[in-house]
Amino acid sequence: MTVHKVSDKVLELLNDSEKDYASLLDKSKFGSLSYNAISSAILKKYIKFILYLEKFDNSITPQNNLLILFYNHFITDIVNHYFTEYEKQLGLIDKRSGKGVKVHSRSNIFQKNIFRSVTNRLFLYLEALKNSDKTLLPFAGHHDFHFGELIRRSYNNNIKYFELKASNNIYIPNLKNQIQVCKQLIFEIHCDFSLIYNFNFNKICMYDFNRIFSLGYKFIDSEMVKVDQQNIKFLLTGTFVNHSLSQKIMHYQSMGIKHIFLCHGGGHIINNEPVIGFTVEGAIPDIKFTYGNLNKIKKEYNPFNTNIWNNKIKLHSRQDSRIDSKNYQLNIEPIKNLKGKKLVYLPNHFQSKRYGPHISTHPIIYHSFQVKMVKWFKKNGAEVIIKPHPKRPSTDYDLIGNEEIQILNDELIKDCDGFIIDFPTTSLQILSCSNKPIIYFDLQIRRLFEGAKNAIYDRCHYSIINLNNPAEGLDKLGLDLHNFKSNKFTDTINLSKSKRSEFDEINYSLNLYNN
């Protein structure tokens, strides 16, 4: 895929997803349909302006296209801004925000055996002492394990790791013209937004494009200078939010150096959402180290199979080290009766910047659903234990008056009777491998591949929920609690055919690319 082909694919997915909107239960002013419609219109306009910039000047390559380079920032920031303006105009006032305690924990629900940053630096120091004739492998970004452990196990590889440092400089040829085009994009988004919702153009705040300059970068009106590529065959990254790193990595790619992306958790596989197009989860990398059954993933779960440089994206599978396949069972006993059951609820959070389509609701709406849901379980005799999301920024929307745990350990997993999940994240991937039943509420926020939806339906006690009016969906759950469940989800999404550990599998594949 060229930039044009990636854009076409995003628009194709957008059109497909808009057809799904008709079947959404919640069509209220703060329902999933409303948020999807706002973000879908913004994303469509944004993609058209990416193409406009590309046609505007042939010298503007992907790494120098302001709208591609800052894609993850602008999509989130612009959509979040107009979500907020929409809510202000319709009277959804957030009175809780800022009253809770700030949460500092960033611990995962299941800790991996990771080497801390001091140990990471030690291994980098040892790497510097290796022979200089080894292939250089720059790495960047972050992952849910430290790169130090990967480096430690690479003793048989003919590779020398070094950290790709972020810079303060961003190189944008035709800077003034690109900025002007971006401001025109914002103006048109604002016009469309005020027209569609019949809001007074002058009484809603226009998104301030100049906020980009508050990110601390020095914008330079020129092509990026040539980077040192001596002995570099490929680059390795987790997720990265620094845009100078993004520019460097794409610049390396433009010279034929492959970018390998270490995907986070199995959750990214199952979401069939258009917004990922110009991200590392979408069409930026050359190679992705993912999870699960590679043949099925390639066939059923891979909308962006060619990247922006028109290279076919190669996939490699490994198994998350938190997945314990020894507990995997095909047949799962049903919960049957809720009375006397102890259930652990693993919620998401919507307090950070919100975007879409298919990602967001307001935390007030989500919290209101959670309160009603927990009351429903208590009314039916079940005890609900809350495991708050570790990355929520504050306790503003924590459920009050319920038992709460910070760490979900093996003992509690063994002791509880099942789990409640309402947003498909890494927790679903890990807990699906247990022998415990899972209650899954489909809040109609995420857009999943049909195969993933069916696999979740077969594995979990499942009910579709109208987020703003959940009573009917909660009652319908009771009809499914007597059904035995079959775990086909784990085979496809989680388990790798390789018997090597996650770190060793990555190193094995890196060695193949190096030789």
The SS3 assignment for 424 reads: coil
In this prediction, residue 154 has a pLDDT band, given cuts at 50, 70 and 90, of: confident
Average pLDDT value for residue range 455-466: 96
What rounded mean pLDDT belongs to the chain? 89
Residue matched to tokens 């259930």: 343
Decide if pLDDT at 139 tops 90.
no
The reported pLDDT for the residue numbered 227 is 79
Of 443 and 130, the structure prediction assigns the larger pLDDT to: 443
Q: 349-370, pLDDT tens digit by residue?
A: 888 889 999 988 999 999 999 9
Percent of the chain with pLDDT over 70: 93
112-124 confidence digits (pLDDT tens): 544 445 556 656 6
Alpha helices in 380-483 (DSSP H): 410-415, 426-431, 450-459, 471-480
Question: What per-residue confidence (pLDDT) applies to 380?
Answer: 97
The residue-averaged pLDDT of 287-303 equals 90
Residue 417 structure tokens: 């009777």
- Average pLDDT of 406-428? 88
Least confident of 130-134, 168-172, 263-267, 357-361: 130-134
Strand ranges, E, within 298-356:
314-318, 331-332, 342-346
**pLDDT tens for each residue of 62-88:** 999 999 999 999 999 999 999 999 999
pLDDT tens readout for residues 485-509: 999 898 888 888 888 888 899 999 9
Per-residue pLDDT, averaged over 320-341, amounts to 85
Residue 239 confidence (pLDDT) above 50: yes
CA angle 314, 320, 321 (to 5 degrees): 140
Confidence of residue 320 (pLDDT cuts 50, 70, 90): confident
**Strand order across the beta sheet in which 159-163 lies:** 159-163, 135-140, 234-237, 258-262, 287-291, 314-318
Looking at residue 100, the DSSP 8-state letter turns out to be: S
pTM (predicted TM-score): 0.92
* pLDDT tens, residue by residue, 27-75: 999 999 999 999 999 999 999 999 998 887 777 899 999 999 999 999 9
Q: What pLDDT is attached to residue 126?
A: 62
Q: Which of 415, 414, 421 is nearest to 387 (CA)?
A: 421
Flag the least confident range among 372-381, 389-398, 441-450: 389-398
User: N- to C-terminal Cα distance for the chain?
Assistant: 27
Q: What distance in Å separates the CA atoms of residue 466 and residue 70, rounded to the nearest whole number?
A: 34
Range list for CATH 3.40.50 in the chain: 115-173+223-322+497-515, 325-493
User: Which pLDDT belongs to residue 115?
Assistant: 42
| pLDDT > 90? residue 411 | no
- Listed range (125-129, 267-271, 311-315, 492-496) with the worst mean pLDDT: 125-129
Which pLDDT tens digit goes with each residue over 156-176?
788 888 888 899 999 999 999
Assigned fold of 115-173+223-322+497-515: Rossmann fold (3.40.50)
CA distances from 88 to 30, 204, 463 (A): 12, 9, 31
Tell me: pLDDT of 108 over 70. no
311-320: average pLDDT:
92
Statement: 325-493 belongs to CATH 3.40.50: yes
Residues 177/9/465/478 CA torsion (nearest 10 deg): -150
Given this model, what pLDDT does residue 105 score?
58
Q: Cα 61 from chain centroid?
A: 26
Write the single-letter amino acid at 308: I
Residue 211 DSSP one-character state? G
Closest CA to 149 of 117, 189, 182, 195: 117
